[in-house]
Amino acid sequence: MSEALGQANSQAIARYKNNFLKEVEERVEDGQWVKMCMQCGVCAGSCPFGPHWEHSPQKIFMMIRAGKREEVLTSDSMWMCTSCYNCVVRCPRKLPITHIMHGLANYAHRLGLVAKGQPTRDIAVLFWKNIIKGGRLNELTFSLSMYFRDGFGQGVKNAMAMQGIGLALVKTKRLNPMEILGGHMCKDKSGIQRMLAKAAEIEDKRRGMA
């Protein structure tokens, strides 16, 4: 954990003392819904990934209320969510469970509490960096950055393994090799970047994380 991130975490701990529920309500997207969970467990039963992650949404919400801050924010659960929305459709209390899970993931990332090498997080970060560069995703550079995220040697191996698919995509004009030079971007890319920066500023202010 970098020093800045560690500081953000300890500031949050100091600010909310033992009241993790309040922290979630104020700082996590749709976190104000957590208190409305009635612990029926329909989300846990509906999740196709149910058996494969540490804590079901039901448990996550209970842990938040019980003040289990570190366990929640370091759980792998919110990173395993595939956004199938089964839980949201079925929740009798209409909690936006998928959004809360993503909100928790985002918050844990912001505080630097996510385990190094968490694949979902890594992809998300690469995706975000790629897309804000020019306002649209460059599939070629995004794929390459994925291949090479574990070092150069592994990157070459990954690229070789995928070359058949890559060539087929080029042949059918689904992939333009020239995109490696930067590719086409949206018209006002600095405008997009300014807009995103402003949005982040507003959101941080609202969450008290400015």
Partner 1 sequence: MNTPVATANKFAAYICSGCGLGDKLKIAGLEKVAKTEGKMAVIKNHPFLCNAEGVKMIQDDIANEGVTHVCIAACSRRAKAEAFTFPTVAVSRANLREGVIWVVAEGAGHDEVRQEMAEDYVRMSCAEVKKMTLPGGNKKESASKKILVVGGGMSGMTAAQAAVDAGYEVVLVEKTGQLGGFANQMWKRMPFNAPYAEAQPTGAAELAAALSANPKVKVYLNSTVTETAGAPGRFAVKIAAESGSISEELCGAIVQASGFTTYPIEKLPELGGGQPNVVDQAGLEALAKAANGGPIKRADGREVKSVVFVQCAGQRDDSGTHLPYCSGHCCGTSIKQATYFKDQNPAIDAVVIYDDLRVPGMGEDFYRSAQNKGVIFTKGKASKVTGGDGCNVTFKDLILDEENTIPADLVVLATGQVPNAGVDLDEWTATATAAESGDEAAKTRKSALQKISVLNLNYRQGPDMPQLKYGFADSHFICFPYETRRTGIYAAGPMRRPMDMHQAQEDATGAALKAIQAAENAAQGRAAHPRAWDLSFPKARLEGCTQCKRCTVECPFGAIDEDEKRFPLFNEERCRRCGTCMGACPVRVISFENYSCDTVGMQVKAVNVPEEDEEKPRILILACENDAYPALDMAGMQRLVYSAFVRVIPVRCLGSVNTVWITDALGSGYDGVMMMGCQKGENYQCHFVKGSEMAYYRLSKIGDTLKGMGLEPERMQTYEIAITDGARVARLIDEYVAQLDELGPSPMKGFG
Measured distance CA(110)–CA(207) in Å, rounded: 12
Q: Does 90 bind partner 1 (CB under 8 A)?
A: no
Interacting residue with partner 1 among 1, 6, 7, 38 (CB under 8 A)? 38
Q: Does 39 sit near partner 1 (CB under 8 A)?
A: yes
Q: Which is nearer to partner 1, 39 or 83 (CB)?
A: 39
Using CB under 8 A as the binding rule, the residues of this chain from 153 to 182 that contact partner 1 are none
Residue selected from 15, 65, 133, 149 as contacting partner 1 according to rule CB under 8 A: 65
Structure tokens at 71: 């366990």
43 binding partner 1? (CB under 8 A): no
Three-class secondary structure assignment of 43-72 = HHHHCCCHHHCCCCHHHHHHHHHCCCHHHH
Work out how close the CB of 77 gets to partner 1 at its nearest, in angstroms, rounded to a whole number.
Answer: 13
Using CB under 8 A as the binding rule, whether residue 197 contacts partner 1 is answered as no
**Count of beta carbons in the 10 Å neighbourhood of residue 143:** 19
Find, among 45, 127, 143, the residue nearest to 86 by Cα.
45
Q: Specify the residue, 38 or 185, whose C-beta has the smaller distance to partner 1.
A: 38
Residue 59 interacts with partner 1 (CB under 8 A): yes or no? yes
Q: How far is the CB of 136 from partner 1 (least distance, A)?
A: 41
Is residue 10 a contact residue for partner 1 (CB under 8 A)?
no
Nearer Cβ to partner 1 (95/146): 95
- What is the maximum span of the chain, computed from C-alpha positions, in angstroms? 59
The H or E element containing residue 95 is none
State how far the Cα of 33 lies from the Cα of 12, in Å rounded to an integer. Answer: 20
Q: Which is nearer to partner 1, 63 or 105 (CB)?
A: 63
Measure Cα distances from 129 to 14, 27, 132, 142 in Å: 31, 23, 6, 9
Choices 35-43, 82-90, 126-134, 164-172; region in contact with partner 1 by CB under 8 A: 35-43
Query: Which DSSP category does 115 fall into?
Result: P
What is the binding site for partner 1 (CB under 8 A)? 21, 35-36, 38-39, 58-59, 62-63, 65-66, 68, 93
